[in-house]
Amino acid sequence: MTTIAIKDVHQQLSFRQLTLGVTLNAQQQLNNFSFSGAPALAPALDDLLMSEKADSVYVFGAQGVGKSHLLQGCVLRAQEMGQQAIYISCRELIQIPSVQADECLEGLESNALICVDDIDHLINDMHWAQAWFHLYNKLMQQDHHLVISATLNPRTVVCHLNDLRSRLQLANVFQLMVLDEEASGRLLQEKAQQKGLYLTNEHVAYIFSRSPRGLANVLAVLDLLDTASWHEKRRITIPFIKQVMAW
């Protein structure tokens, strides 16, 4: 691929990924996130969003615990407060050649809040690690805020730059735990109620018995049921769930 072609790909990807409103899910709000596995995290995020001083939060946990929901919720809350904020998914950003990492992140420190999802997908590369290190320093110098997610805690995450690792360890660190089936069921019923739907314990048990594992998959089922219920003007029943999900 020619240099010009690579640059064109970079511009297209960075524009698609770093433009607000493209990747944000308006349903992923902080007020419908379950903090039951990390109750101290909610006030920590409130303090960060209200603070006029530099601050950072680092959350880690297995896939499916809601890290993306949490980070997008932070951005949406910040925007509601009139702050300039951006959500970045490193799973998508990794498509950009690492030699263009500095160019890709250039100027992002103007945001009052940056939420970086799955940073461990990038900082095992020296180019990206250095770019994030420089951006981190610029953000802190301007008293801006950073929320980061990863699979592992900052002490054990694979990072090719010790200076960046030390910065990550300065953050307020929280671990998100996988909800057990009972807690996930309660959360599913709460989210259904927010959508104007009523799920009985029987409905929840049936969904969990048929849906792929993981809270994200179960919530995706709820979204489909919500859409189908609205279009067909039908309440939720086991036969209706079977029909919509083809189970």
**Cα–Cα dist 223/139, whole Å:** 36
How sure is the predictor about 1, in pLDDT bands with cuts at 50, 70 and 90? very low
pLDDT tens for each residue of 61-97: 988 788 999 999 999 999 999 999 999 999 888 888 9
**Cα–Cα dist 84/139, whole Å:** 13
**Cα–Cα dist 56/147, whole Å:** 6
**Cα–Cα dist 16/88, whole Å:** 11
Is 92 within 8 Å of 12 (Cβ atoms)?
no
Does residue 148 have a pLDDT over 60?
A: yes
**Cα–Cα dist 159/61, whole Å:** 17
> Averaged over 142-170, what is the pLDDT?
95
Percentage of residues of the chain with pLDDT beyond 90? 66
Q: Kindly report the number of other CB atoms within 10 A of residue 171's CB atom.
A: 18
Whole-model pTM: value is 0.76
pLDDT tens for each residue of 89-121: 998 888 889 999 999 899 999 999 999 999 999
Q: What is the pLDDT of residue 27?
A: 75
**Cα–Cα dist 105/101, whole Å:** 6
| C-alpha 18: how far from chain center | 14
**Cα–Cα dist 92/222, whole Å:** 26
